[in-house]
Amino acid sequence: MSALRPSNADFAAAIAAGGAVVLGTDTVYGLCCDAENPAAVERLAILKGRPPGKPAAVAFFSLHSALEALPELGERTRAALRSLLPGPLTLLVANPAGRFRLAGGEQLGVRVLDVGLDAGRPVLLTSANLAGEADARTLDEVPLAIREAADLSIDGGTLPGTPSTVVDLGALEGTGSWRIVRAGAFPAAALQSALARLVSG
């Protein structure tokens, strides 16, 4: 099922029911589902053609929700999230409490989306393409098989088309160090500036 201009209530209902939703993010088109629903996460992997259990980001729809869901984050890491999110970033953070086990393990990829939608719960988020293929900038570029199988497709217009920058903050609390795992939409120079101020401060 698809709808070009569904309401936020439609989006939240589809996620709550265990559905898979295609949506426009601040980078590329994504495919998401309830991050804590095993059947939904398994279906997402099948739709994308990715190995089961492969880590994916957990996306929140406000910074407050992200910080509230991860109370064990250290002060430097929390400051980094406050400084950088929302934005075209996936921040890899330590996950000592083992939260969102369907999304990863010792580390958790965190995204905060500001796209005018709120599922009312965290979602597992991956790009809406087949594994190994190009990212989608428009809804029409999302593979037809994914669009037809999804419970809802939300047209977010033409997107930038560059995926999020992935940054490992796992050592930020101890040594103040961090590293870019995947270059992407967030400029490296801006990241360096923001994190340098945080660590030095």
**Residue 201 in this model has a pLDDT that exceeds 70:** no
**Residue 157 in this model has a pLDDT that exceeds 80:** yes
Q: Which residue has the higher pLDDT, 179 or 104?
A: 179
Sequence ranges of the domains in the chain: 8-200
Q: Which residues contact 118 (CB under 8 A, 6 or more apart)?
A: 8, 11, 12, 61, 62
Q: Which residue has the higher pLDDT, 1 or 67?
A: 67
CA distance 190 to 194: 6
**Residue 82 in this model has a pLDDT that exceeds 70:** yes
Q: Kindly report the average pLDDT of the chain as a whole number.
A: 93
Tens digit of each residue's pLDDT (9 = 90 or more) over 17-44: 999 999 999 999 999 999 999 999 999 9
Mean pLDDT of 6-11: 90
Q: What is the pLDDT of residue 53?
A: 76
The two tokens of residue 69 are 């869901």
Q: Are 15 and 123 in contact (CB under 8 A)?
A: yes
Report the predicted TM-score, pTM, of the whole model to 2 decimal places.
0.94
Task: For residue 51, name the pLDDT band (cuts at 50, 70, 90).
Answer: confident
Kindly state the helix (H) or strand (E) to which residue 34 belongs, with its residue range.
Answer: strand 29-34
Residue 11, SS3?
Answer: helix
Using alpha carbons, select from 98, 66, 96, 99 the residue that is nearest to residue 83.
66
8-200 CATH fold: DHBP synthase (3.90.870)
**Residue 4 in this model has a pLDDT that exceeds 60:** no
